Amino acid sequence: MKIIVGLGNPGRKYEKTKHNIGFQVVDALLLKIKATSWKESSRFKSIISEGILENKRLLLVKPQTFMNNSGEAVFKLINFYKIPLDNLLIVHDDFDLPYGDIRLRTNSEGKSSHNGIRSIVVKVGMPEFDRLRIGIGNDLIIPKDKFVLSNFKNEAKNIEEIIGEALVKVIDWINNEKR
């Protein structure tokens, strides 16, 4: 089994924010593969869906713990399913990448300024897991927390294209074409 976790914040208020692009990518994946509808799981503090892509069993996850506590959900999932970290992909926004840049980091050991990633590293106890980083650019005029929680504005016209490109990278990762 492979677990793909999209990071974001729960609730309508955050639905279209830059910080929720991870949720948007796993939503797109659910529509692309044979998968169940989203179901609330209090056990995993997440909304989950199970699916199959080319005979590979997948668990799609949207933690409902809010971004800064994403590690709680991820820790519960990997311990319950006993999956190795190389079968875990975290999809998240990245303030430090230019808007629209998409980078897959495999077996990542690098430090991150992303609070969701930091939470996962703390709970899991190690930083060596794969990450798909989606650049949201940055606006040094307003504080970072306000920027990541803002909606896409002028950029919104090509957000579907960026999500599509990210989806291709997720599918490549699932099929082990990442290395």
| Nearest CA among 120, 123, 132 for reference residue 25 | 132
Q: Please indicate whether residue 19 is annotated as part of the active site.
A: yes
Local structure of residue 36 (DSSP, 8 states): P
Q: Bridge partners of 135?
A: 94
The C-alpha atoms of residue 70 and residue 177 are separated, in whole angstroms, by: 27
Structure tokens at 68: 């800064």
Cβ atoms 116, 68 nearer than 8 A: yes
Residue 179: exposure state from Cβ atoms within 10 A (0-12, 13-18, ≥19): exposed
Beta strands 129-135 and 88-94: pairing type?
Answer: parallel
| Annotated active-site residue in 2, 19, 92, 131 | 19
What are the CA-CA distances from residue 58 to residues 7, 95, 146 (Å)? 17, 28, 33
What are the residue numbers of the active site? 19
